[in-house]
Amino acid sequence: LPRMKLIQLLFRGQGNLEMLFRTPYCQKQFPHVCLATSASLYSKKKKVNSYEQADQEKYRNLVNSVISYKTSAQNPETIFEEDNLLYGPPGNHRPHDKAETKTPKNWVPLINPNKRTHPDSDSNVLIKVALQKNKLPSVTRVLQQTISPQQAFYLERWKQRMIQELGKDGFAEYTKNLFLQGELFHAALESIFLSEEKATNEEREDVSGYLSSVQHVLEDISEVKALESAVQHESLQYLGLVDCVAKYRGQLCVIDWKTSEKTKSSLKSTFDNPLQVAAYIGAINHDANYNFQVHCGLIVIAYKNGSPAHPHFMGPDLCSHYWNKWLLRLEEYMDKN
């Protein structure tokens, strides 16, 4: 056989190799090799070929990832994916998060049993409570200061890579523009819900991609009850600013609008956003400014390129799950402070 053909057959595994040396041509040309190889194969008949065990697709993707690396393409989500490709999912290499089994010391129900609701009264009145500055911690602050070490590591690494590429001033300008786009997007949504033209054409143009992205979601939203409204949990003593409270496909929800440069097609990919929504739901249900209670949540991920947004609906059971996780984070924050 030609040498290259022999090498190819060698790399296809022991089964093909054994078949090769059983052929009459091989036995004539390589009698000693044939006997030695056959004996070796017979003695290791039950052993699985390590080459066959290797995930060739995995390593091919890894090589492609490495040789096509660009700093500008890195963000916290892609860094998670890169590390998963190298080391596998974090869950396979570390014990289960203790927070999953812990119970909050000061447990408060998500739904307020003492609150009387009037769902039909003042249904056309839009609630917009101004945010008062006080010493109470905000939901955002609590989540930022109790972030897991793993997430903190990835975020810091992403930040350093961006600074290396853009410089400190460039990175500051980049983050400033992200916040500005988020504010313009929320302002444009508010003007749509209020049927007003507060947003100028120039401002609408800056976020036109985001607005196109959420168009199919807006069609399922009705009976808006609150916009950019402050909420405060009276017993747990924290506050926040809710984007929107409205019905989504007939279910009253706390709606959180998010912008993203990367596709987030699963609730898990939104990181701490479900905890934020659960915290807002609990606050509304324990805030006297609101004459209703909310059982569900909705996180809408909008994309700048106009691709269809991903709406992640959180039913009552899922909200209760993340409510318990929020209570643990809140306790952790209180212990630290």
Residue positions annotated with a catalytic role:
243, 256, 258
SS3 of 264, please? Answer: coil
Contact yes or no for 147/272 (Cβ under 8 A)? yes
Q: What is the DSSP string of 3-66?
A: HHHHHHHHHT-HHHHHHHHHSHHHHHH-HHHHHHHHHHHHHTTTSPPHHHHS-HHHHHHHHHHH
Q: What is the DSSP secondary structure assignment for residue 96, as one 8-state letter?
A: P
Q: How far apart are CA 190 and CA 220, in angstroms?
A: 16
DSSP 127-162: B-PPPPP-SSPBHHHHHHHT--HHHHHHHHHHHHHH
| C-beta separation of 244 from 289 below 8 A | no
Alpha-carbon Rg for the chain in angstroms:
28
* Length of the chain (residues): 337
Closest to 218 measured CA to CA, from 238, 263, 197, 188 = 188
